[in-house]
A = this chain, B = another copy of it.
Amino acid sequence: MTDATDGTDGTEENPAQGSLDDSFHVFDTTLRDGAQREGINLTVADKLTIARHLDDFGVGFIEGGWPGANPRDTEFFARARQEIDFKHASLVAFGSTRRPGAIAADDPQVKALVAAGAPVVTLVAKSHDRHVELALRTTLDENLAMIADTVAYLREQGRRVFVDCEHFFDGYRANPAYAKSVVRAAAEAGADVVILCDTNGGMLPAQVQAVVQTVLADTGARLGIHAQDDTGCAVANTLAAVDAGATHVQCTANGYGERVGNANLFPVVAALEIKYGKSVLPEGSLREMTRVSHAIAEVVNLTPSTHQPYVGVSAFAHKAGLHASAIKVDPDLYQHIDPERVGNTMRMLVSDMAGRASVELKGKELGIDLSGDRELVGRVVERVKERELSGYSYEAADASFELLLREEAEGRPRRYFRTETWRAIVENRPDGSHANEATVKLWAKGERIVATAEGNGPVNALDRALRVGLERFYPELAKLDLVDYKVRILEGKHGTSSTTRVLISTSDGVGEWSTVGVADNVIAASWQALEDAYTYGLLRAGVEPAE
């Protein structure tokens, strides 16, 4: 009935894959509605990365975009089907009901939805009478026909269909009978879930609860909730709908979304799992929540909110003093949950990002047993603290962390080469083109190396000069590729004098690793990250250090 017609795997009966049952839906729309946030502009590669994070985290549905509406979203669906092996999530294509007066089977926009190949389609439908008349410019009856026709057609094409009733709550206030007739039309045509959307975000929890309760009683349809945060109540509105019987919640990672934003996925699932005792994620997922939240913020290039519930760096931070001794007696007196349940940590002082336990766990993950050596773990924690204070971030730079850990464990750094100096020159030519040239002076295996290269930017020129200089000594470097490069300016209120953090991802065709550099300028920070990137690549390749 609801088979996956994604072209790669048509055998599955139930698109709610993996370990999740279908009785409650955690539906993520970061890639579609979340991308509406001011300042977010996602590439296809960004979208694929975020989809992987969300699937790992264990949401049931990932709404990927509007195929056909823009080429980027079309490409995303094509590549997601090929490149991602979803463990938990079903991919969802978003689109609109057919045009007035047409038939669904002939509507190009509807056909693009089918062509996207996602097993699930969310259709947006108007449910506010004024919107039907003013924005759609059609009759109330034709709007119902558009919904019924489009849902039925997509069901015939083997898709599972959800219907988003746009502006539902405002529409319900204006014309409750019509709003409910939209819900009935969608459900009767075969939509599995009808989602009541507070599109303008003006609702408060008590109102949401009352409306959901009534609509559920009057229509009998399976209901979902989509809340925007314009009153600062999106999380509470989502929970109020669940209290009233909704069994499908639409959220976005970190609450990204248009205007103020959408209901934030993380506090919603945390409340459901911890406060309601409802199992809505795969076993163990909640402990990954803080990491996933920060990783997605990195991809969209927004600083993770320090004060976000559950996952913010400050969410379990206590200003020492009055409470300090009592917290020692019993931390549960001063925090509403154990922060480890959501992968966060209690902090008594400023920096303490990496506790002993997480360093030990990380060591274990890297195959280095640290549990016997308290003094070593202490040294690593101290160095991480000190470096994070000056702007480093090891959360997204596993390889740099491993190099640091090995340096402490082995008593000296892994070194394949030593930098004497480097120089980068960027010049704007009178014709508007740029010349980028870099020179590096290095030592490797006892020899001094001077190499110069050009590139399409100063970092690219430095990267090439480094390879030109070293490949004779380390032919393994030829296999390495820089696959991602990110820059973050820290302490944004100092203009161009701020500290710069660079993250570089490198691949050897088998795996990928990330390294970090921090300096007062972007070139110097990039150089540090490049040094770590190649050092780690050689370590991975099993090359013996020989400075």
Q: Footprint of B on A, CB under 8 Å?
A: 36-39, 41, 43, 45-46, 70, 128, 130-131, 134-135, 167, 199-202, 204-206, 229-233, 235-237, 239-240, 243, 255, 258-261, 264, 267, 270-271, 275, 301, 303, 306-310, 312, 314-320, 326, 329-330, 333-337, 349-351, 353, 393, 395-396, 419-430, 434, 436, 455-460, 463, 481-498, 500, 504, 519-524, 526-527
Contact = CB atoms under 8 A, between A and B. Distances in A.
Given A259-B314, A336-B202, A455 B496 contact: yes
B200 A336 contact: yes
Contacts of A320: 36, 258
Contact of A333 (B131, B275, B484): B131
Contacts of A428: 419, 421-423, 524, 527
Nearest to A327: B135
B336 A231 contact: yes
Given A271-B231, A460-B496, A329 B135 contact: yes
A495 B484 contact: yes
Given A318-B259, A319-B38, A135 B312 contact: no
A422 B425 CA distance: 11
Given A134-B333, A456-B521, 20 more contacts: A38-B350, A41-B488, A43-B493, A45-B492, A200-B335, A204-B239, A230-B309, A231-B267, A231-B270, A421-B427, A422-B427, A434-B519, A457-B524, A458-B523, A460-B521, A483-B495, A485-B496, A485-B498, A487-B487, A495-B504
A441 B351 CA distance: 45
A331 B426 CA distance: 48
28 contacts: A37-B307, A38-B395, A38-B396, A39-B396, A43-B491, A45-B492, A134-B329, A200-B334, A202-B337, A205-B236, A206-B240, A206-B243, A230-B309, A230-B315, A232-B309, A255-B307, A260-B307, A260-B312, A421-B427, A423-B426, A434-B524, A457-B524, A458-B523, A460-B496, A485-B498, A487-B489, A487-B500, A487-B522
The number of times this chain is found in the oligomer is 2
Given A275-B204, A520-B456, A520-B457, A258 B493 contact: no
Contacts of A255: 307
